[in-house]
């Protein structure tokens, strides 16, 4: 029989109140609390904490405190990743972020979701769907990326957008729900 953690990572309904999952979230909260308490003149300490918290990360990454996540271990970010203040990543499933991705302030990335039916929600069961963001993507301030979304490489998502479905590579997209506005061509 699969553990609640295995169910969570495979996209099945799982019980978030499971003792193993609660312990993993508490460990992530301790690390993010320590990270968020660092000062501007402690960039090495910040990176060391992020390397302990995140599942995988490139050699040059920067996240501005405050930052929040569920587990951390399900997040992978590529080289040159930057996340501005007030970032949130709910990583109940894999959140894979490519190289040289830039996130404006208040960007939220959600892999976590809940059943639509109230009776099912009331059981305490949750689910999650992976999020994938390609290389060289820019997420403007206050962008929300919803569960199960893939954003293609070289795409810009306008500030304040709510990304509810996949967005292709090489486009400018925006709005709520987020839609492709136009193709972006190299100059």
Give the active site residues.
114
Q: In terms of C-beta density within 10 A (0-12 exposed, 13-18 middle, 19 or more buried), how is residue 53 classed?
A: buried
Please, what is the Cα angle at 161 between 158 and 167, to 5 degrees? 80
Closest CA to 74 of 123, 20, 129, 118: 129
- Sheet with 95-97: list strands edge to edge: 56-57, 75-77, 95-97, 131-133, 150-151
DSSP one-letter code for 64: P
The token pair at 79 is: 């080289």
């Amino acid at each position: 029989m699969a553990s609640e953690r295995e169910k969570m990572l495979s996209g099945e309904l799982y019980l978030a109140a499971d003792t193993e999952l609660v312990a993993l979230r508490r460990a992530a909260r301790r690390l993010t609390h320590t990270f968020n308490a660092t000062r501007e003149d402690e960039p090495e300490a910040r990176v060391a904490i992020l390397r302990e918290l995140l599942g995988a990360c490139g050699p040059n990454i920067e996240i501005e405190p405050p930052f929040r996540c569920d587990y951390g271990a399900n997040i992978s970010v590529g080289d040159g990743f930057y996340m501005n203040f007030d970032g949130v990543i709910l990583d109940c499933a894999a959140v894979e972020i490519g190289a040289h991705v830039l996130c404006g302030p208040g960007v939220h990335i959600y892999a976590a979701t809940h059943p639509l039916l109230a009776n099912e929600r009331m059981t305490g069961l949750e689910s999650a769907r992976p999020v994938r963001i390609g290389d060289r993507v820019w997420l403007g301030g206050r962008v929300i990326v919803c569960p199960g979304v893939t954003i293609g490489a070289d795409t810009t998502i306008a500030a304040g957008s709510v990304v509810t479905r996949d967005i292709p590579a090489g486009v400018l997209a925006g709005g709520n729900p987020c839609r492709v506005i136009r193709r972006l061509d190299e100059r």
